[in-house]
Amino acid sequence: MLSLMSLTGCTQGNQIVKTEYIRQEIPSIPAPPEYYPVSFIGRDEYYCIDAENAKNLLKNRELYKGYEEELKGILNQLKGSMP
């Protein structure tokens, strides 16, 4: 019984303390998309856009929405793995 206590008991002089930091793996941020050029035309204090530029503007909006979803996915992944 005495030898069992010496194996399991803790004394002040023999304590081993090891500090270990665990850091969360953060995924890299995706590269922003390359957008299509859009040109506006100024007429009578208004800004107008032709059909081709309107298509480019819609394509840019879809590219941005996809990029935004990727970033939201990363944030949700990080949020879900936090204690």
Q: What is the pLDDT of residues 24-76, one digit of tens each?
A: 788 899 999 999 999 999 888 899 999 999 999 999 999 999 999 999 999 99
pTM of the full predicted structure?
0.63
Task: Please answer whether residues 32 and 67 qualify as being in contact, where contact means their C-beta atoms are separated by less than 8 angstroms.
Answer: yes
Please say whether the beta carbons of 33 and 64 come within 8 A: yes
CA distances from 8 to 1, 12, 45, 56 (A): 11, 13, 85, 72
